[in-house]
Structure 1
Amino acid sequence: MTTVVLADDEVLLRKALGALLPLEGDITVLAEAEDGEAAVRAVAEHEPDVLVIDLEMPGVDGLAAVERIRADRPDQVILMLTRHARPGVLRKALRLGVQGFVSKAAEPSQIASVVAALHAGRRWVDPDVSALALVDDCPLTEREVDVLRATSDGYSVADIAVRLHLAQGTVRNYLSNAMQKTQTRTRHEAARYAREHDWL
């Protein structure tokens, strides 16, 4: 049997998966979480074999939740669900050690089989998603992507510095470099440009 925590802000999808996964495989859903914050708490409380988590959620998103979970449970097996897997996001998720990546459009039976594969120690990345990851025409460094992502989430330079454990001057340097590379005038324009080009 494989135990699972489900984290997704879309109630209908989360409830459907919660009901269907046990029917598709030897899976027990221990808890459901409506956002990244709740996912961190649920994993700490229930210690599931596999965390199935949505990439895009309000507040603490999937990537931020995974970073926090990894700090406490470095061996936690994680399957990430997504609708739009931008190359930069996928690469960051893989760097964080996410073992599986699957489209939210996948059949519950496929998601159940991927959960079983991950629990058995294998990795699985949806072919469409992995094809996107190979498209690497982004001129931005990993840190420039990080500060632009935080900018697009509405954080100030001071907030970004705290979140990324950087000096404010360093954050400004990264933003300046990103603005030069994207040929934009403000950090918000640079963030918008990067998002439109699927770099975030």
Structure 2
Amino acid sequence: MKVIIAEDQGMLRGALSALLDLEDDVEVIGQAENGEEAMRLILELGPDLCIMDIEMPRMTGLDVAERLKEQGHPCRIVILTTFSRSGYFQRAIKAGVHGFLLKDSPIDELGEALRKVHAGGRAISPELSLTFWEAENPLTEREREVLRLVAEGLSAGEIAKSLFLSGGTVRNYISEIMQKLEAKNRIDAISIAEKNGWLK
């Protein structure tokens, strides 16, 4: 199988490439240090799989996965990340990602996961609970919008003006958000939502 590695840390990218090249049935045909470059290489070289980090400059791994899905591109995406946030899992599934593995997984586990994905299956690190794949963002789009503005430091009055709502409605939204997230206060609500990738 032909593979592209997209990872912004050069040392890790090189190590992954060297280790995967030792596998008989894996050929690393390209390496990218950011999402834009990954997208270009995938379109130019047509790999079977792309191993992708989430947090990369220019475009994240999930941005690339979403763009490929929109275009109906056959390249299968395996996310390799240090982030086990349920919001990322949720977005990855919607983007058609086939694998979600942690960076500290053993290399033979990665090799097996690639084979499984190449054969049409899904692969997930055993350390990651299946509930992550099913975790739903409890906030509505409007609640996320309100919380993003709270995170930017806007007051309830400023948010009301910005979203053409009454102050009371905004306060109700904030109260509902804190209840849903079981947050002690607004700062706590922002922290919980960011940790789970629910503000993206």
TM-score range, shorter chain: 0.7 to 0.9
Matches within 5 A, 1:1-200: 2-131=1-130, 133=132, 136=135, 138-141=137-140, 143=141, 179-183=174-178, 191-196=190-195, 198-200=196-198
Q: What CA distance in whole angstroms lies between the structure 2 residues aligned with 1:149 and 1:88?
A: 15
Q: What CA distance in whole angstroms lies between the structure 1 residues aligned with 2:8 and 2:64?
A: 13
The amino acid across from 1:89 in the alignment is Y
CA RMSD, aligned part only? 3.3
Q: What CA distance in whole angstroms lies between the structure 2 residues aligned with 1:34 and 1:138?
A: 30
Pairwise CA distance, 1:129: 2.1
What is the number of residues matched between the two proteins?
Answer: 178
Answer whether contact 2:51 2:77 (CA < 8 A) is retained.
yes
Q: What CA distance in whole angstroms lies between the structure 2 residues aligned with 1:189 and 1:30?
A: 45
The amino acid across from 2:30 in the alignment is A
Structure 2: runs of 5 or more not aligned: 153-161, 165-169
Answer whether contact 1:55 1:81 (CA < 8 A) is retained.
yes
- CA pair 135-49 structure 1, distance change in 2 beyond 3 A: closer
- CA pair 136-36 structure 1, distance change in 2 beyond 3 A: same
Q: Any runs of at least 4 consecutive aligned residues in structure 1 with deviations exceeding 4 A, and if so which? A: 144-154, 188-191
- CA pair 71-140 structure 1, distance change in 2 beyond 3 A: same
TM-score (norm 2): 0.74
- CA pair 109-87 structure 1, distance change in 2 beyond 3 A: same
Structure 1: runs of 5 or more not aligned: 155-167, 171-175
Answer whether contact 2:89 2:133 (CA < 8 A) is retained.
no
**Equivalent pairs: percent with the same residue?**
31
Q: What CA distance in whole angstroms lies between the structure 1 residues aligned with 2:66 and 2:22?
A: 31
TM-score (norm 1): 0.74
Pairwise CA distance, 1:151: 7.2
The amino acid across from 1:3 in the alignment is K
- CA pair 52-199 structure 1, distance change in 2 beyond 3 A: closer
